[in-house]
């Protein structure tokens, strides 16, 4: 469907990609990986045509429908959000408008036997067929299902778009893309503005989505559960792995280990040859031998080890002073904004050493409850802290509170006291702020760097009750893993808000689930709770994309056979793609040879016949590749049933 051919791009004074090639097929669910700044978002914009390549091309199949969700968006539309979504499919809208025009015209026409009248009836029949084929009859129902799945309530559906915040507007924009059912979905951080329940719903939706998906995400579980392929952008190259994110990490590390070993062996070989060159260069009878060694080194293709994403934290929280057994008592706590009740009569205790995950939909009061705990908002009732409890609070907007005109060093130096001041450089180094980096001003830092700096400030005192509100925002997958490990080793009490399921998995020993103005406590994993919530949503009709009536279930034994067949087909596809790439290179070389060939001296050159033969081989291999891709699509569709 989409073919990227030998693409290079210079952007902002640097070469972002060099000679990149890959294809996207109907059945691909691709995760786009790479460190911050590698060019992931730019790649999506190239596929949409927003950016043009410096060299090479992006080929898109005729009539392919492609939809793109950027990271940020704002609109002041006054339309109700249900109408925004229902009318998003321009094809259905055009058909609907034309059907209305025809029906109005038919009401006034009386020339029932004229050619123009009969032509109008034919057009009416064709448009009705097209309307049904494109799902026009289901668009209202699907719009409502998708909006509710993304967290909107019944009362929200008829509210105008401009009443919602930027995050909720992004949800509407995502719903508008999903209801169109494009051939290819390009999604740039689609979970950024979603709560944990909406992420779970979207994941299940995309797993069953009938088209191709190319997505960027820092949510490891989201990537693992959706994708069947990973494209890594590294040092201007694209590496293609026929697997999900976690499997890709294992394979990538194995490849890097082999690269490192090969590089070391090559370096030893070069050093050995260089010693011989230095030894024999000045000797007349060995000069030719030395020159031969020099040529051998010059011809060598130097092995390089691909860069790794080093933008991760390396730290542990300091051991806190012990608190009393009872960390907090909440008794009859209530909170309301005007007439809107957030909490009513909360009563429970938090004990020493508990690790609590606070979850629930956006807007139900997670951040409000945390502000009640740290006394940053008024409330009714009582919240009492236990003996010797010292709270360390990381707010959702903590990174924005940093002074933009201070340097990294000054930010930490201002709050450090006593012996800690002697260790500022060491502490900053553990957060990857090293050398001249510590003299950078906060205002030039990325979102992830600011989050790391804000977390660093939290380390300066041994708090025994950490309250963290979305600490993983702007952190990449590796950094989240290291933060999670640090929290697992933390010996104090933890109250944590996060929408990242992989981050929460195994980190908490109880869930505080906010719903209906109350907090319910569950001694179960996030996965178990979300499975139950998904079942409740399914019972309400908030489900996945509709199945085709032709679909049949696949039993376990058949699934094993199909997986074996899929692996074989993937291997065949890989081999054919190698042949295609080799033939394309040969054709390019042959065309260059023809362009520089002196035909006046050689009238009967076979170059054109050779070129035509290569092109015929290429066409044959392309046909074979398309057949294999269709075969793969059939297998994947069967496995997804």
Taking only the tens place, the pLDDT of each residue in 261-270 is: 888 888 888 8
Are residues 222 and 207 in contact, defined by beta-carbon separation less than 8 angstroms?
A: no
Dump pLDDT digits (tens) for 157-194: 999 988 888 888 889 999 999 988 889 999 999 998 88
Give the integer Cα–Cα distance in Å for 340 and 338.
6
Mean predicted confidence (pLDDT) in 627-637:
76
Residue 226 tokens, joined: 């959706």
What's residue 555's pLDDT? 60
Mean predicted confidence (pLDDT) in 573-580:
83
**Domain-located, residue 358:** yes
**Domain-located, residue 82:** no
Give the integer Cα–Cα distance in Å for 240 and 222.
19
What's residue 308's pLDDT? 58
Say yes or no: 490 and 353 in one domain.
yes
Q: What 3-state class would DSSP assign to 434? A: coil
Give the integer Cα–Cα distance in Å for 511 and 496.
10
Band of the pLDDT at 640, cuts 50, 70, 90?
low
Give the integer Cα–Cα distance in Å for 36 and 34.
7
What's residue 553's pLDDT? 47
Q: How many CB atoms are closer than 10 A to CB 41?
A: 15
Q: What 3-state class would DSSP assign to 402? A: coil
Give the integer Cα–Cα distance in Å for 318 and 460.
8
**Domain-located, residue 416:** yes
Strands (DSSP E) along 208-302, which ranges?
212-216, 229-234, 237-241
What's residue 100's pLDDT? 85
Mean predicted confidence (pLDDT) in 341-368:
92
Say yes or no: 342 and 398 in one domain.
yes
Total tally of structural domains belonging to the chain = 4
Give the integer Cα–Cα distance in Å for 213 and 545.
15
Say yes or no: 562 and 531 in one domain.
no
Residue 527 tokens, joined: 């996965």
Residue with more model confidence, 463 or 139: 463
Length of the chain: 641
Dump pLDDT digits (tens) for 299-327: 887 777 666 555 555 677 778 889 999 99
**Domain-located, residue 605:** yes
Say yes or no: 413 and 439 in one domain.
yes
What's residue 549's pLDDT? 36
Q: What is the mean pLDDT of the chain?
A: 84
Q: How many CB atoms are closer than 10 A to CB 103?
A: 10
Dump pLDDT digits (tens) for 31-75: 998 877 788 989 999 999 888 889 998 988 888 889 999 877 767
What's residue 551's pLDDT? 40
Say yes or no: 376 and 503 in one domain.
yes
**Domain-located, residue 139:** no
Say yes or no: 262 and 383 in one domain.
no
Residue with more model confidence, 136 or 222: 222
Long-range contacts of 2-6 (CB under 8 A, 24+ apart): 2/47, 2/58, 2/59, 2/60, 2/61, 2/64, 2/66, 2/184, 3/58, 3/59, 4/46, 4/47, 4/56, 4/57, 4/58, 4/59, 5/56, 5/57, 5/58, 5/59, 6/55, 6/56, 6/57
Mean predicted confidence (pLDDT) in 504-523:
90
What's residue 604's pLDDT? 61
Instruction: Give the CATH number for residue 386.
Output: 3.40.50.300
Say yes or no: 460 and 593 in one domain.
no
Dump pLDDT digits (tens) for 528-554: 888 888 777 776 666 555 543 334 445
Say yes or no: 530 and 563 in one domain.
no
**Domain-located, residue 318:** no
Dump pLDDT digits (tens) for 382-397: 999 999 999 999 998 8
Assess whether pLDDT exceeds 60 at residue 210.
yes
Band of the pLDDT at 271, cuts 50, 70, 90?
confident
Q: How is the beta sheet containing 465-469 ordered, strand by strand?
A: 391-394, 465-469, 493-497, 355-359, 510-515, 518-522
Assess whether pLDDT exceeds 70 at residue 556.
no
What's residue 547's pLDDT? 45
Give the integer Cα–Cα distance in Å for 60 and 46.
11
Say yes or no: 522 and 588 in one domain.
no
Q: What 3-state class would DSSP assign to 485? A: helix
Mean predicted confidence (pLDDT) in 96-119:
85
Say yes or no: 285 and 432 in one domain.
no
Where is the domain boundary, 474, 507, 539?
Answer: 539
Say yes or no: 515 and 571 in one domain.
no
What's residue 213's pLDDT? 94
Exposure string of 108-132, with b = 16+ CB inside 10 Å and e = fewer, is eeeeeeeeeeeebeeebeebeebbe
Residue with more model confidence, 458 or 205: 205
Residue 130 tokens, joined: 């097209």
| Domain with 269 in it | 248-299
pTM above 0.85, yes or no: no
Give the HSE-up count for residue 93: Cα atoms under 13 Å, Cβ half-sphere. Answer: 10
- State percent of the chain over pLDDT 90: 29
Give the integer Cα–Cα distance in Å for 191 and 206.
12
Residue with more model confidence, 92 or 228: 228
Biggest distance spanned by C-alpha atoms of the chain? 108
Mean predicted confidence (pLDDT) in 355-362:
90
**Domain-located, residue 3:** no
Band of the pLDDT at 408, cuts 50, 70, 90?
very high
**CA 30 to each of CA 193, 231, 503, 559: distance values in angstroms, whole numbers, following the listed order:** 21, 7, 22, 22
Where is the domain boundary, 133, 151, 186?
Answer: 133
Give the integer Cα–Cα distance in Å for 431 and 452.
7
Mean predicted confidence (pLDDT) in 404-429:
85
**Domain-located, residue 240:** no
Dump pLDDT digits (tens) for 503-513: 998 898 899 99
Where is the domain boundary, 539, 572, 593?
Answer: 539
What's residue 619's pLDDT? 77
Say yes or no: 452 and 492 in one domain.
yes
């Amino acid at each position: 469907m989409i073919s990227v051919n030998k693409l290079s791009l210079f952007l902002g004074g640097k070469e972002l990609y060099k000679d990149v090639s890959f294809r996207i097929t109907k059945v691909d669910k691709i995760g786009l990986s790479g460190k911050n700044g590698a060019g992931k978002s730019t790649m999506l914009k190239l596929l949409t045509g927003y950016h043009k390549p410096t060299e090479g091309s992006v080929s898109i199949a005729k009539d392919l429908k492609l939809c793109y969700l950027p990271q940020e968006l704002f609109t002041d539309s006054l339309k109700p959000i249900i109408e925004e979504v229902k009318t998003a499919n321009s094809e259905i809208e055009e058909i609907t408008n034309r059907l209305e025009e025809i029906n109005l015209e038919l009401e006034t026409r009386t020339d029932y036997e004229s050619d123009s009248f009969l032509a109008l009836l034919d057009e009416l029949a064709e448009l009705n067929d097209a309307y049904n084929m494109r799902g026009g009859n289901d668009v209202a129902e699907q719009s409502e299902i998708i909006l509710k799945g993304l967290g909107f309530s019944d009362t929200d559906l008829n509210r105008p778009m401009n009443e919602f915040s930027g995050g909720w507007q992004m949800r509407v924009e995502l719903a508008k893309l999903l209801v169109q059912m494009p051939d290819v979905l390009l999604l740039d951080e689609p979970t950024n503005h979603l709560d944990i329940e909406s992420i779970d719903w979207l994941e299940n939706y995309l797993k069953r989505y009938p088209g191709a998906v190319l997505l960027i995400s820092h949510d490891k579980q989201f990537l693992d559960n959706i994708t069947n392929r990973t494209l890594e952008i590294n040092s201007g190259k694209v590496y293609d792995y026929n697997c999900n994110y976690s499997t890709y990490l294992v394979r990538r590390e194995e490849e890097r280990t082999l690269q490192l070993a090969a590089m070391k062996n090559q370096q030893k070989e070069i050093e050995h040859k260089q010693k011989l060159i230095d030894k024999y260069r000045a000797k007349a009878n060995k000069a030719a031998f030395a020159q031969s060694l020099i040529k051998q080194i010059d011809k060598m293709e130097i092995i390089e080890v691909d860069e790794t994403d080093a933008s991760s934290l390396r730290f542990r929280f300091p051991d806190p002073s012990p608190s009393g057994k009872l960390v907090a008592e909440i008794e009859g706590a209530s909170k309301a904004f005007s007439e809107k009740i957030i909490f009513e009569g909360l009563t429970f205790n938090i004990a020493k050493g508990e690790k609590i995950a606070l979850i629930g939909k956006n807007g139900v009061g997670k951040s409000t409850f945390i502000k009640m705990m740290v006394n940053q908002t008024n409330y009714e009732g009582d919240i009492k802290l236990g003996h010797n409890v010292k709270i360390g609070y990381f707010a959702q907007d903590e990174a924005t509170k940093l002074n933009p005109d201070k340097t990294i060093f000054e930010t930490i130096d201002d709050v450090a006291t006593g012996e800690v001041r002697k260790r500022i450089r060491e502490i900053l180094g553990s957060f990857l702020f090293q050398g001249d980096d510590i003299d950078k001003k906060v205002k030039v830092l990325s979102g992830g760097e600011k989050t790391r700096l804000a977390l660093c400030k939290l380390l300066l005192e041994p708090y025994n009750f950490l309250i963290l509100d979305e600490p993983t925002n702007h952190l990449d997958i590796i950094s989240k893993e290291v933060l999670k490990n640090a929290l697992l080793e933390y010996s104090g009490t933890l109250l944590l808000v996060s929408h990242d399921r992989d981050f929460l998995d195994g980190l908490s020993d109880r869930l505080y689930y906010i719903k209906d103005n109350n907090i319910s406590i569950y001694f179960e994993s996030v996965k178990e709770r979300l499975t139950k919530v998904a079942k409740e949503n399914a019972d309400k009709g908030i489900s996945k994309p509709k199945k085709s009536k032709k679909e049949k279930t696949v039993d376990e034994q058949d699934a094993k056979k199909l997986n074996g067949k899929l692996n074989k087909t993937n291997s065949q596809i890989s081999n054919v793609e190698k042949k295609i790439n080799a033939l394309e290179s040969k054709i390019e070389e042959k065309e260059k040879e023809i362009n520089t060939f002196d035909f006046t001296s050689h009238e009967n050159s076979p170059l054109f016949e050779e070129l035509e033969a290569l092109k015929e081989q290429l066409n044959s291999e392309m046909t074979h590749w398309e057949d294999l891709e269709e075969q793969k699509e059939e297998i994947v569709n069967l496995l997804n049933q």
